[in-house]
Amino acid sequence: MKPVAIFRHNPGEGPGYFAAFLDRLSLPWHMIRVDTGAAIPVDPAGYSGLVFMGGAMSVNDPLPWISAELALIRAAMSKDIPVLGHCLGGQLMAKALGAAVTANPVKEIGWGEIESLDDSTQAWLGDAGAFPAFHWHAETFAIPPGATRILKGRHCDNQAFVIGPHLAMQCHVEVTASMIRLWNRQWPEERWEAHDAVQTPEQMYECLESRIAAMHRVSDRLYSKWITGLKF
């Protein structure tokens, strides 16, 4: 059984709940620690699927591994090997497909409600409707040609798109409570203008467990649909 490859770009932005989801189903996975200099595979055929996590960098930065990941994403999609992206990972997928990644109108940090768009999202979201999602980003992706937007938010229009078996998300449905507390160590260093799209750590911790539980119910739906395309 081929493992799912998970690409980590920052030590604090690992797979979180996604890894727990795979473990619960006894699905093998392998971490590629890009942040420590791990080489980017050229051929995706050794993996059942590819998953790209978040990171503080921009996909528009001149980092050597970005072009390698873009090429890998395109190679996987050409072979129908499913690709999944969280935040930076979703932006990488958009750029690989020719869509622009630009500054969001506002920086979005903390909890914000997002919602599914129409009945065409049923396969991915069921009757999820609106739900709380966690955000930590300053940039956003355009929807690539041929893709379908499935989630939108008040502060960021494009929260997720699908194209075939591939899913790209701007939001962080993979976060856990411990990840949020870890990320908030960097909160004082964030540069942002006063806006209701940015929460303080104290606001993020309000009803934390119930918010995470509600989000992870949707994570389960998204991930359950995504794994149906894995190439074992």
Q: From the first residue on, what is the mean pLDDT of each consecutive set of 10 residues in the chain (232 residues)? A: 96 96 98 97 97 96 97 98 98 98 95 83 83 96 96 95 97 98 87 77 96 96 97 92
Q: What is the predicted pLDDT for the residue at 64?
A: 93
Q: What is the predicted pLDDT for the residue at 191?
A: 62
Q: Which domain holds residue 170?
A: 4-227
Q: What is the predicted pLDDT for the residue at 109?
A: 94
Residue 206 lies in a domain: yes
**Total number of domains constituting the chain:** 1
- Both tokens of 179, joined, read 């990840």
What distance in Å separates the CA atoms of residue 134 and residue 113, rounded to the nearest whole number? Answer: 9
Q: CATH number of the domain that 136 lies in?
A: 3.40.50.880
Residue 232 lies in a domain: no
Q: What is the predicted pLDDT for the residue at 8?
A: 98
Residue 82 lies in a domain: yes
For 189, counting Cβ atoms within 10 Å of its Cβ (0-12 exposed, 13-18 middle, 19+ buried), the class is exposed
Residue 18 lies in a domain: yes
Residue 40 lies in a domain: yes
Q: What is the predicted pLDDT for the residue at 194?
A: 61
Q: What is the predicted pLDDT for the residue at 23?
A: 98
The model's pTM: 0.96
Angle in degrees, 0-180, between the axes of helices 88-96 and 64-78, rounded to the nearest 10: 70
What distance in Å separates the CA atoms of residue 97 and residue 59, rounded to the nearest whole number? Answer: 13
Residue 91 lies in a domain: yes
Residue 110 lies in a domain: yes
